[in-house]
Structure formats: C-alpha cells, structure tokens
C-alpha cells in the first residue's frame, strides 16, 4: 500500500446509519449510536498518519426534516459525545471545533461545545471539525453577508472582493485546503457539504455503511489518494 502522500485535510460524509440499523432489525437511532466507534477509528487512524485536519458531517441543515424522534435522539447523542469525548480528545492532544449555524442548537449543546473547544484549543495535534446544522450554501452565504456588511459600512470596496477574501470568511479557512472527501454507504453525491472547500478535493466512495467503518478504510482511501494525479487545472506535463 502506497502512503507517500498523506492528505493534509480529510472530510467524511458519514452515511448509512439508518440502513445499518434496519439490516439488523433495530429501531430508533441504533445505527447512530453504533457509529461512535467508527468516528473513533477514523480519528485514531487519521491522527496516526499525520493528517492535520479531519472534518465530519454530523448533521446537515436539511436533517431537521427528519422525524422529530430521530432529531431529538441525535441531539441527545451529540450532547453525550461532547460530555464524554472532549476529555479523550484533550488527553490525546487533539483540537475540536463545531462548525455550522449554531443559532438553531440548544443552549446546552452550545455551552458544551464552547467548553469542549476551550478545553482543546491549545492542543497542537490534529484538528477535528464536526459540522452540525451545516450546509455548504449556508457557508458561502454567510461569508457573502459579512463582506456585504463591510461594503455597506464603507469598510470595504466591492471591487476588492475576490476569491481569496471570500475564502477567508468561510468555515475552516484557517486550515489546510481540503484534499480528500470520503463518503460511505455507496452514495456518490456531496449533499451540500463543504461546497466551496471541495473545489479540488479528491473523492473516495465506500460501499460499507458508516457504523462498519474502521481504520483500514482510511488506509484504503489514502492509498487511492496516492494514486491520483492532482493537476489543479494544469496539464500532466506541467
């Protein structure tokens, strides 16, 4: 297996939790609960390989349309994870950040998220970014709003707005550019995730359901990444 090039930034769309539960005739959010070990495995292996940033799509801005029982259970699971996992991350020198529109989240979740971010803020290891109530279109829109407000206030000339400036106001702008997107469960779409950041990322689609995801899946994805010819718009000869 070739591991010469390690992606600096990996993102994962964690898909297949409900299908995993249905296959086992389990109800409720059994698949989501079973996915905790998959998250741990992805974090462990990515950190071991020297990945600088790992971004996980936990809850999209469209997921509010799901049954209320499932949404409530997911929020409770998120609370549990923040309470239990933040100390583990701090102990292992990992940083945690919650990205997305947090105005729709409960005060308890926001309080725990703030505490977890503060607890891990000074760590120097891999940055783990968990997207909650996140959408790629929202990300670009909120960046555009900030710039529009600066133009309206006379702080910025519209003619000075370029890709670099807009990028500075999107989520994760302080981290390495996204190199590799992984999606599980055989689906091959980006589902409004990191639309701006995905411009030159490599994609790897996995047939296995997210609760079955383990360290060897990261190895497989990185091996495929190593085999890709990344041109960024130029020709191979260049």
> Does the annotation count 192 as an active-site position?
no
DSSP 8-state code for residue 12:
E
Query: How many H-runs (helices) and E-runs (strands) does the chain carry?
Result: 8, 6
DSSP 126-161: -EEEEEEEE-HHHHHHHHHHHHHHHHHTTSS-GGG-
**From the candidates 18, 63, 110, 122, which is the catalytic residue?**
63
Q: What is the dihedral of CA 30, 36, 37, 40, to 10 degrees?
A: 170
Written as six digits, the tokens of 203 are 């994609």
Question: Is 140 in contact with 170 (CB distance < 8 Å)?
Answer: yes
Candidate list 15, 139, 179, 212, residue with the active-site label: 15
Phi, psi of 64 (to 5 degrees): -65, -15
Can 15 be counted among the known catalytic residues?
Answer: yes
Query: Which residues are designated catalytic?
Result: 15, 63
């Amino acid at each position: 297996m070739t591991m010469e090039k390690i992606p600096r930034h990996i993102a994962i769309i964690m898909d297949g939790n409900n299908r995993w539960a249905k296959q086992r005739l389990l109800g409720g959010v059994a698949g989501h609960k079973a996915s905790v070990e998959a998250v741990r495995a992805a974090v462990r292996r990515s950190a071991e390989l020297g990945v600088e940033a790992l971004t996980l799509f936990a809850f999209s801005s469209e997921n509010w349309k799901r049954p209320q029982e499932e949404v409530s259970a997911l929020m409770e699971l998120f609370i549990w994870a923040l309470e239990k996992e933040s100390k583990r991350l701090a102990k292992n020198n990992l940083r945690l950040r919650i990205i997305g529109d947090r105005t729709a989240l409960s005060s308890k979740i926001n309080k725990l998220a703030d505490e977890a971010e503060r607890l891990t803020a000074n760590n120097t290891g891999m940055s783990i970014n968990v997207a909650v109530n996140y959408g790629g279109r929202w990300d670009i829109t909120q960046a555009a709003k900030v710039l529009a407000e600066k133009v309206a206030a006379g702080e910025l000339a519209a003619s000075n707005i370029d890709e670099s400036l807009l990028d500075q106001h999107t989520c994760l702008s302080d981290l390495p550019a996204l190199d590799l997107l992984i999606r599980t469960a055989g689906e091959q779409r980006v589902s409004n995730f990191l639309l701006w950041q995905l411009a030159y990322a490599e994609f790897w689609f996995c047939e296995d359901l997210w609760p079955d995801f383990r360290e060897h899946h990261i190895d497989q994805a990185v091996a495929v990444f190593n085999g890709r010819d990344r041109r960024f718009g130029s020709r191979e000869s260049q």
